[in-house]
Structure 1
């Protein structure tokens, strides 16, 4: 059985990136965080081996060939709001794979163990859905092995304190959703300090996670410092 994992990304130069974060640390720093974070998420996914097949889910059709997204298969998210785009990516991948995982690019502290746990959960007959709740009320991962109607995806209010709860309540049958540990994603400057501490605590960080941690640790240093 194969599992697809779509990493949702936006492309600098085509769309504004991490706008809430950019408001406090500047647009260029936010772009660099997005690039490093997306690379870390991808590296964790690639470490799972052939059973997990990662791809980029790219917001902009014109950016499908952007050099930033080389190295993985690419899929356009499609038009519309986030619910419509989640539906398109999930449905497209479920037609090709037995299971689908959806993740964002701003939880680079995820581990191979968490991804494998999500896959294991979806192998169990009693749990067709899995979710990793984010600390802000959203979710850092959602996975399933059954179709989900367009209206269910689009009936959820995203970027709200109860987004994950709404999504779980809309699934049929309810009460069959396994949960992963809560992670903090990155939306504002203080989240970067939390992320730095979390990455430092990883027992076996991958090279891209170490690169991101180094950037986080040195982002306040003046140019030219050693």
Structure 2
């Protein structure tokens, strides 16, 4: 998982307004906690948090924390895969962000299970805004990660398709995961909370109490 520590003014800045920086950071912390909890319920040999910032009380046990590398998001994602390949060179690796707190463990557990991995080289989780929320590689290497991610245009409506094009160019067999909504704007937050009303994220959003009409 790749994430930022939930520090006011540094995370979820597109939620302000209507949120204050402190409220946006509280939502980011809830999203982070929900996602860590979800991933903790997906069978895995190792759980790695690639973090920009310092861990806090939201971090559950069982996670190894490593700092993010420098550079743009493309370089940081590539470096995360390279690190995973170094510590577990013969294991598949799945990278997930902190923007999909509605993620259900079953969405990952079945397609990533040993019974369903044969013949699959990569897993791709498309985001509703044209990006992607997950990328998995059956045989991650630093070189492959660089070819897939370095120079990839980030945070655009064409980011996901550009990544799919690169996966195809590498002749990788890709299994698609369900489309999920990233929490970027407050409208996204409302939609995601409605999809997972029992989570920390939805509870935190209800506690903030910003009316939907205030986001217009």
What count of residue pairs does the alignment treat as equivalent? 204
Show the counterpart of 1:186. Answer: 183
Q: Distance in 1 between matches of 2:50 and 2:19?
A: 26
Cα distance, 1:29 vs. partner? 0.9
Which runs of structure 2 are paired with 1:16-165 in the superposition (5 Å)?
A: 16-49=10-43, 51-60=44-53, 63=54, 66-69=56-59, 71=61, 72-97=63-88, 98-120=91-113, 124-146=117-139, 147=141, 148-165=144-161
Q: Distance in 2 between matches of 1:22 and 1:121?
A: 42
> Does residue 162 of structure 2 align to residue 177 of structure 1?
no
SS in 1 for 2:134: strand
TM-score, reference length from structure 2? 0.84
Cα distance, 1:144 vs. partner? 0.5
TM-score, reference length from structure 1? 0.81
14 and 185 in structure 1: CA distance in 2 versus 1, 3 angstrom threshold: closer
Whether the aligned pair in 1 keeps the contact of 2:7 and 2:25 (CA below 8 Å) is no
Cα distance, 1:83 vs. partner? 0.9
Q: Distance in 2 between matches of 1:120 and 1:47?
A: 13
Cα distance, 1:48 vs. partner? 2.6
* Aligned CA-pair RMSD: 2.4
Q: Distance in 2 between matches of 1:150 and 1:122?
A: 28
Q: Deviations over 1:80-107 (max 9, x none)?
A: 1111111111111023330111111110
Whether the aligned pair in 2 keeps the contact of 1:122 and 1:130 (CA below 8 Å) is no
> For structure 2, which runs of at least 5 residues remain unmatched after alignment?
211-216
> For structure 1, which runs of at least 5 residues remain unmatched after alignment?
1-6, 222-226
